[in-house]
Structure 1
């Protein structure tokens, strides 16, 4: 009999972990969170205490886990090693209530890592739990309290998000900057030389005689042509040197998403899904990380591998400075075994693994080295009495270093100057240019964000967490606030309208405010602040802003159920009109273009006092409808609690088609051809409940 139970998040980890732990253990998965805030209401009381309910899937998982808990002596909660994972462990402990439990974490699924984790178990870190809880509640407060207001402002259902709306703002403002941009045409000149069959160039070095801070662009094309026609120049200075280029850091969650987007054309959501699968199969370390540094063990393994393959590792481990606010709970994302060149169960997984492996390997190899040469030339003939100078820059790779292992992923922005084989020149040398040409340039508008560059911007501004970026991108696109075309993000009209409705009305739309909130959440995690203080202060500010805005909102048809949002006219899947509230999700019948009685088991709202009461339930009202065949009938608005349907008798409710209560027969009678025909005839004239919505 198994004595211990290990609970992880993903079912994909079970097989690997079971093989490591052996038959004395049971391994089960929570399949993520088993509890969450309710879907149909705010779920946060006046004291800001969240209300947690088992999710639909969580009920089944909890029942199964309770049975396993009863079979073992001790439960090990091994959910992911981050705040979200800590919260999941806490929810499991609260629901399952095991007699003996402990918390353990590992960032790679290997024998060594799991055994080390078993020797370093601890209790649940409630500071991390409260930090995750604060984020969840803050997001819920903004979403549920601001979305109805934004919907009333725009006259259509929209949603606001504490971080999502800030990301939308960045896209919208970039779109507006592009729209307002006016291109400026300006000019320069370039001379081309050749020596022993090798061509090289020198560009006009615009001096303060021609440009200034107030007028940074040279716009005289004729004068630029004169400069391009110069041929005789003299060497004023020539300087040789060496330049080194270091490799980029191993992947964090953010840089992994960026690189995969650029190199593999994967959206962030897809990247995280593939990385999760690689992690669960034991091929990479934990991919949700903001640390750019490897563990000492990983460095030793990479160094040994590099020496064996003549790749020249650095003598001592490289380290990178983490971004401000980084948790650095575990190391950067890397292969669990650097010697494994190919891993993954699909071609996409293999491609992502290759990207992760090459980046980790390159990070601990020697710098690339270049021989550089900078030459300053001066024309012998002045132009308009002013000296004209040209500058030639060249470099040659002399030591590949880490470049032998890496591939371009464009997340490292080291300036890579183009090759320009400038020859060895001495001061005072006289040269004659072969040709010259005018360089016509145009200022370019700001580039639209890609998902990769927007993630980079969010991280640079310390907005949100890398683990949430994929969800943010997916939400903006699904709700049609932005669209993707050729990898670029375009702000849609609805997104621009929503952004305009929220800006200068809510503090959470301001980058400094949102950035500061991330710092407060970090303080909760480290025990330097409390849930009550951070969430309480933010909520008070939000209530103040909502109060100031509600007085100027268009009233429209205010939802009778929640009194907070406007009802919207829409159509059911059957094409029948009805009204719904985007805040509390209440639905109302349509009575000649106006909201009628409320559907469901909530308190009925009779906006039409003349409507007859349902004889069956005597609580809800009847409304007239038409079947698919065009036959009039009457139905109860209390559906699904009351599914009574009545015939039409000269514009008034007639006899009932059937009873709400439909007891099941002990044994269903066998249908004959006669009864089938009777049923078919009845279905042609009798409206069904599916006709209603």
Structure 2
């Protein structure tokens, strides 16, 4: 056993670090957090300083036991989790779970390189409890809010809902933007653009600096220009420069990877994590734009090598965010001489983006020359303006111009043809094109991260899980939506004649945008009305600042929670008398002209739906689920009537066992009705298009699940079938075996079920057990002539009275010790 045990939180990180340490070090992974608050119950003692009760996660018991054993046999234990609050918390939980001393060595590093690891080993510290308490305060506060607020949502809005501190604010941002878009009044104006023909078939484009508000004023302007002469009044040339952006923080990396590479925030963090664990980039959770002096020197050397001395301009950036930890670094390559890295194309693209941004931050400004030409019109005092720029020295743009993603830079660098003052211009066309004002765009993942950061809500480690959570809870959907068509007018002056034409354009098309769902809007409205503090932007940002104060040792964590909880719990108690949310969850839209029945939209157990009729009427109401792109708060009476004009439910689609099969829809969603029994349709089934064979399949599957699906016996134990949360299964002797992709509950036979059970046993028999105490691995192998035990390089026969699948580790060790083995090569 090694003298030193190093514990990290990731297997990939362990593998990389182990390569940098000597034979006296063993590096093991905890696979993330090993302890947390239990899933059920609050587990926080409010009366005794909010003392939490942690437990070892059920899936980490084996890991903890193994680490305990290794820790006891090691001379020194080193906790080497990530250098942030979450990493500090993991180290503390490891110390507690493994029973380690308070002075256990804690090492931190911002990059996984040999130099950084060795430097960390030479400069250990102990666990920083201020950082642990900051993370603990966040965790406990979120548990308190969720545990007390969610039941209020269940009683006042809908069962199964939940609320979170940062997540609820993120939903509010998206909902408010949606409402701004709904109420936006688009106005049209006419933009004037002229094209002049120059010598050598060159074209000069110029624009009128203002737009005309009406078609009449635009036409009047064009009429004035009939027969007019156009002359260059002045040419103004000014030097200008462009400076590079600072290196990436977590937020700016997420935004740029979304814009340039199309990555989601979660994907960006996944690829960055892999690059970090492979030792290719520095730590990817940071809000600092700072680079170390060593990193700047390495970047400088790489720039000189690839571009030359004139491209170097070193800088040290100062982060605008006051809470940023300047001791940390921005995200950068660990070796600037490596221009490409990553295990797959997606990682490579992200690494190249990080490399370019880091290198560019230490390169010279781009030197430009911007030219503005003013063009007079003989018949009117208005002037046209033509602008262009020339790159005199590309500087840092030399890096960006290599990438096709940097279209903005290419667009801004258009040049003007050679021009002279007093030059008479030959007008080709003068167009006045109708344009429409647009509302602020819906949020992408990247722009939402930017909005959260600007409001001071959340920190680098919270952006990705916040977005994932609100999408998972179905308060928000991320999707593409098609645009709509509209007409626009264009007035064209050419050869002293004005022509008019009407064309069509598509507007409002959305790609990978975040849309609030009806449920998200109802929950947001209820929280804003009754728990404004929980979803208040400033309050949430101030709370983040308090977490920072705890991390710096300036605030006692339990007092901070107590200050919040007093008012929060009081509001919870008062909310019990609040009105049940109905204003935004139920809307009566009007009376159906055909039936005279009431048309309404409501929020039900399975989402928003439209209802024709009333439950008090003799005739049962008709229900239709709302399309995903329609909201309870904004769907119109006409749009709902269109939904009811589609094929009506219930509909009869055939017969089975001489009884009709009927497809209907109720408050619990669409269903198949047969022989007075109901079977819910699955999410992929459309009630308007489902056919008889599929309906029969659902009926038989439901029967099998209800009856336990008894198939017969095997080895004296019954075999049954059923359907669980992970899909259809075969059950035998208390164990569950998933069906294959080609199997179904309606077609499974006893023989096929036995095949599945035996195949699973063989698979289990071949699984790796663990290391032998003498560093020899132990496996139970299913060989050609039957199962046997493999210990290191030797094989041990299994006695006939023992079953391979039932062997324990102790059984294998005992059989290995009892079975003689050749002396040669045997480890002592």
TM > 0.5? yes
Secondary structure class of the residue paired with 1:159: coil
Does 1:445 find its partner at 2:448? no
2:15 corresponding residue in structure 1: 15
Q: 1:522 to 1:228 in 2, by over 3 A?
A: farther
Going from structure 1 to structure 2, the CA distance change for 1:391 and 1:540 (only over 3 Å counts) comes to same
Partner in structure 2 of residue 343 of structure 1: 341
Change (3 A) 1:424 1:321: farther
Per the alignment, do residues 629 and 238 of structure 1 end up closer, same or farther by CA in structure 2, a change over 3 Å counting? closer
Query: Corresponding residue for 1:203?
Result: 207
2:780 corresponds in structure 1 to none
In the alignment, the residues of structure 1 paired with residue 104 and residue 182 of structure 2 have an alpha-carbon distance, to the nearest angstrom, of 59
Q: Which moved more, 1:52-61 or 1:81-90?
A: 52-61
- After superposition, the Cα gap between the structure-2 partners of 1:217 and 1:284, relative to the gap in structure 1 and judged at 3 Å, is farther
Match of 1:492 among 492, 495, 517: 517
* TM-score using structure 1 length: 0.75
From the superposition, tell whether residues 394 and 554 of structure 1 become closer, same or farther in structure 2 (CA, over 3 Å). closer
Equivalent residues in 2 for 1:21-420 (5 A)? 21-46=21-46, 47-99=49-101, 101-196=104-199, 197-206=201-210, 220-226=217-223, 229=226, 231-311=228-308, 312-382=310-380, 387-406=381-400, 417=412, 419-420=414-415
Whether the aligned pair in 1 keeps the contact of 2:157 and 2:580 (CA below 8 Å) is no
Q: Which moved more, 1:317-326 or 1:355-364?
A: 317-326
Contact 1:343 1:349 in 2 (8 A): yes
Q: Compare relative contact order (CA 8 Å, sep 6+) and give the higher one, 1 or 2.
A: 1
Shift of 1:136: 0.9
Structure 1 distance, partners of 2:128, 2:36, is 19
CA-to-aligned-CA distance 1:522-564 (integer Å, 9 cap, x gap): 1111122221232111112211221221112559xxxxxxxxx
Whether contact under 8 Å (1:293, 1:332) holds in the other structure is yes
Q: How far did 1:27 drift?
A: 1.1
**CA offset digits 1:471-512 (Å, max 9, x no partner):** 111112222111122311111111111111111322121111
Distance in 1 (CA, whole Å) between partners of 2:61 and 2:471 is: 31
Query: Counterpart in 1 of 2:539?
Result: 513
Structure 1 contact 164–476 (Cα < 8 Å) conserved: yes
Structure showing the higher strand proportion among its residues: 2
Shift, 1:513, TM fit: 0.9
* Cα-to-partner distance string for 1:436-482 (whole Å, 9 max, x where unaligned): 11132110122111111111111111111121111111112222111
Q: Tell me how far 1:230 sits from its aligned partner.
A: 7.0
414-423 or 66-75, which deviates more: 414-423
Instruction: Say if 1:337 and 1:219 are closer, same or farther in 2 by CA, change over 3 A.
Output: farther
**CA, structure 1 residues 288+389, in 2 after alignment: closer, same or farther (shift >3 Å)?**
same
CA RMSD, Structure 1 to Structure 2 (Å) = 3.2
Partners of 2:158 and 2:605 within 8 A in 1: no
Q: Are the equivalent residues in 2 in contact too, given 1:127–1:526 (CA < 8 A)?
A: yes
Counterpart Cα distance in 1 of 2:423 and 2:285: 58
Distance 1:43 1:59, change over 3 A: same
Task: Measure how far apart 1:369 and its partner are.
Answer: 2.1
Conserved in 2, the CA contact under 8 Å of 1:36 and 1:55?
Answer: yes
Distance in 1 of aligned mates of 2:706 and 2:191: 76
Cα gap change, 1:68 to 1:437, in 2 (>3 Å): same
**Other-structure match for 1:579:** none
- Distance, in Å, in 1 between the alignment partners of 2:216 and 2:129 is 64
Partner of 2:629: none
TM norm structure 2: 0.63
Contact 1:82-1:329 at 8 Å conserved across structures: no
Is contact 1:153–1:554 with CA below 8 Å preserved after alignment? yes
3-state SS of paired residue (1:375): strand
State the 1:219 CA deviation: 7.5
In the other structure, the counterpart of 1:618 is none
Matched pairs, number: 562
Q: Deviations over 1:165-209 (max 9, x none)?
A: 111111111112222222111013222223333222222133xxx
Please tell me whether the aligned partners of residues 197 and 426 of structure 2 are also in contact (alpha carbons under 8 angstroms). Answer: no
Q: Distance in 2 between matches of 1:186 and 1:80?
A: 55
